[in-house]
Structure 1
Amino acid sequence: MRLYAIGDIHGQLDKLLEAHDRIQTEAGHDAVIAHVGDLIDRGPDSRGVVEHLMRGRDAGRNWIVVRGNHDRFLPAFLERPDWIDPGLSSGQHWIDHPGLGAAQTLASYGVDPGLDREALLREVRRAVPPDHARFLATLPLWHLHPLALVVHAGIRPGVGLLDQAEQDLVWIRQGFLDSDADFGPLVVHGHTALDSAAHHGNRLNLDGGAGYGRPLCAAVIEPRGAHLLTGKGRVPLVPEMTG
């Protein structure tokens, strides 16, 4: 039994295609591949990433995609233009925050991000296909596989899976990253960007910082351990101390 998993994509379609090719070379087109969310923002082709994953879903690929905090921004803007995610400590809107990458996402849909707010909303509603917004808005918050729990940010220790709050599932850091609790299944997540994937025994962080120009991490989880998939082959992901 194997589970392949891919970290935060952030609009990096070329890197996603490369990761899929690497996995399919090893395991074929029927490989079970989990994506930990944050499909859009920062990178150059958020639209292409969404289209590629939707095509895979429609073709019946064994692809799991969970919802990241960034995946909420675009659908929310279309439905509730003034909504500000409470997870943002800055209190800034997705459109106005310079580090969130809204401009790149809008440009991938052919929208000029420099328009005034009213014109921008009108153009986004015209340019973004409804099925793209619906796909992002309806992604599951987690997926439980026999080998791992796949979630974007993590889970609140001591809280049952069915009682986890959405805000924690897509935003949590403090209380999860520093926990050495046995979560039961290995928690495979992203959200907190590193230089590369890191295994902490109870959790595996796959956000290698693709949104900041670093590699997109792809890994394979098996009953006896996990490996990072690289252009030179498998690299063991050895559990580190949490802290």
Structure 2
Amino acid sequence: MITYAIGDIHGHLDLLRAAHARIASDRAAHGTLDAPVIHLGDLVDRGPDCRGVIQHLMDGMAAGEPWEVIKGNHDRMFTGFLDDIHHHDEGLRSDLSWLHPRLGGSATLASYGVKNAADRPIAPVHAEANAAVPHAHRAFLKHRPTWLQRGEVVFVHAGIRPGVPMDRQRETDLVWIRAGFLDDARNHGFLVVHGHTALDHATHYGNRINIDSSAAYGGPLTAIVLDGKKAFTLTDQGRVPLTP
């Protein structure tokens, strides 16, 4: 069972296109043309072309590309803000907001033509954002699944609550969790492939693989391929084994 996965994109359409190109080369070399590509969420925030990333993924899926997109916490904060000017995501620290510079929401709105969102009164920013963001983009993000399973591998944005069956997991854990998951070395009964916690490079921990390689902060965007539970990082030169 062959599956491709791409880590946190954060508005970097150029990196996403390059990751798709590496996957296309691998498909051609290994005859895996129908294998799905699972994008692990955080399409938006911090990067320069969040709108372009969403549109690119929507267009590809509409054209029949075997792509899946999982919801990330930044995607949820974006739609939450559009729905309610006072929205504060359950997983976010109380002293921060989606438009705080650390979160990067203003970069998302700038890609839709709403400029300097973090430096202006929130009411006009909210009104402009609702006028600028297409309904189709909002609906696309809101209706993304929070996890997918392929054989012995579960794909999720942030991680899982260990010991809780997948059909009883809370969405907030699936898109936000760190403590209680990253430090848990138990065998979950499946391999977890996730992002959310930025690293210098994709890392295999035995029971999980983190493929958020810090595209949001100037790092690369990682694409991997899994053959069952065997993982490989995709490079311009081909597959590189990704092992614990």
**Shorter-chain TM-score range:** over 0.9
Change (3 A) 1:186 1:118: same
Cα distance in 2 between the residues matched to 1:48 and 1:121? 20
Task: Tell me if 1:184 matches 2:163.
Answer: no
TM-score normalized by the length of structure 2: 0.94
TM-score normalized by the length of structure 1: 0.94
Match of 2:103 in 1: 100
8 A Cα contact 1:3 1:147, kept in partner: no
Cα distance in 1 between the residues matched to 2:134 and 2:97? 22
Q: Structure 2 counterpart of 1:45, which letter? A: D
8 A Cα contact 1:5 1:36, kept in partner: yes
Q: Structure 1 counterpart of 2:144, which letter? A: L
Residues 165-224 of structure 1: CA deviation (Å, up to 9, x unaligned) = 111101111111111111112111000000010011111101000000100000011136
User: How many equivalent pairs are there?
Assistant: 238
Q: Structure 1 counterpart of 2:36, which letter? A: V
Q: Structure 2 counterpart of 1:15, which letter? A: L
- How big is the shift at 1:232? 2.4
Cα distance in 1 between the residues matched to 2:71 and 2:197? 15
Cα distance in 1 between the residues matched to 2:35 and 2:133? 30
Match of 2:39 in 1: 35
Unaligned runs of 5+ in 1: none
Match of 1:12 in 2: 12
- How big is the shift at 1:52? 0.5
Q: 1:77 aligns with which of 81, 93, 114?
A: 81
Q: 1:202 aligns with which of 204, 207, 213?
A: 207
Q: How high is the sequence identity, in percent, across the aligned residues?
A: 53
SS of the residue corresponding to residue 234 of structure 1 reads strand
Cα distance in 1 between the residues matched to 2:169 and 2:39? 20
SS of the residue corresponding to residue 144 of structure 1 reads strand
SS of the residue corresponding to residue 143 of structure 1 reads strand
Cα distance in 2 between the residues matched to 1:145 and 1:238? 19
Q: 1:145 aligns with which of 143, 150, 153?
A: 150
Unaligned runs of 5+ in 2: none
Task: Tell me if 1:57 matches 2:47.
Answer: no
Q: Structure 2 counterpart of 1:17, which letter? A: R
Change (3 A) 1:80 1:218: same
- How big is the shift at 1:90? 4.4
- How big is the shift at 1:32? 1.1
Match of 1:89 in 2: 93
Match of 1:216 in 2: 221
Task: Tell me if 1:3 matches 2:39.
Answer: no
Task: Tell me if 1:170 matches 2:171.
Answer: no
Task: Tell me if 1:227 matches 2:227.
Answer: no
Q: Structure 2 counterpart of 1:47, which letter? A: R
